[in-house]
Amino acid sequence: MDQIFYNGKIITMEKANAAEEMKDAPEAVLVRDGQIFKVGSLTEIEATANEQAVRHDLDGKCLMPAFIDAHSHVVMSGQMAMLADLTGCVSFDDVAAVLRDYIADNHFTKEEMKMVNETKKIFDKDIKVNATCVRVPVLRGHSESVYIETKKPIDMDKVFELLSNSHGVELYDDIENQIYPMANLFIGDELVHVGRVRKDLDNDYALSLWVVADQLMKGAAYNSVDIGLKMIEMGLL
């Protein structure tokens, strides 16, 4: 189903300051099947939408669709999680103050709870996950500091062997030569890069690692294609 949100100012966080952003902001956004599909003028949006599109008059409000990365275009941001009302905001500090309202009752942000819930859904409902999410000024890319506890003592040789031979993963780890993953190194790259792999100093059942990937390349859509190709290779499709 197509939905058109129009007669407003759609904030994409691409300009240098909030006042400049809102002055030249597009007036409409097209949401297709729950996904942000296009941002632009109402004429552009109506030309793209189907005839049965449901229209929502924004009545002049400044809105930011979904939680988006500060330097990523809103079209790339994925799920239409919300429409945050930014009317009256004149700085990005004002924008941040509005977004602070979108925090779960347990004081975790919705992005943090998404990591918890999606990990449980994908791996195991009983897996324990504790996440802290922050936004940093990079063009794009997700970086994670991951701490893992296992049931058996960890053999680091096997860890490095597993990471070196895993499909879609590059072991990028040579700390003596200051080689480890950084988001600015892998823009447009389709792999997940892992570095800083080390065993816990006090716990034989734990290790830490640093993981970086371009979320626009190695995201849900690309993963679906990757899984589909693997299923064809295995004769499952």
- Same domain? 150 vs 85: no
- Same domain? 7 vs 67: yes
Closest CA to 191 of 207, 157, 215, 174: 215
Q: Which residues contact residue 210 at a Cβ distance below 8 angstroms, ignoring those fewer than 6 apart?
A: 143, 144, 145, 146, 180, 181, 194, 195, 196
Cβ contact 66:82 at 8 Å: yes
HSE toward the beta carbon, residue 145, CA cutoff 13 A: 4
- The pLDDT, as a whole number, for residue 96 is 63
Q: Which domain holds residue 24?
A: 2-99
Give me the number of domains the chain comprises: 2
pLDDT exceeds 50 at position 214: yes
Tokens of 140: 């794009």
For residue 15, name the pLDDT band (cuts at 50, 70, 90).
low
More confident residue, 181 or 63: 181
Run of H or E residues at 199: strand 192-199
How much is the mean pLDDT over the chain?
79
Alpha-carbon gap, residue 183 to 136, rounded angstroms: 10
- Same domain? 167 vs 223: yes
Asked whether residue 176 is assigned to any structural domain, the reply reads: yes
More confident residue, 66 or 4: 4
Run of H or E residues at 10: strand 9-10
- Same domain? 158 vs 223: yes
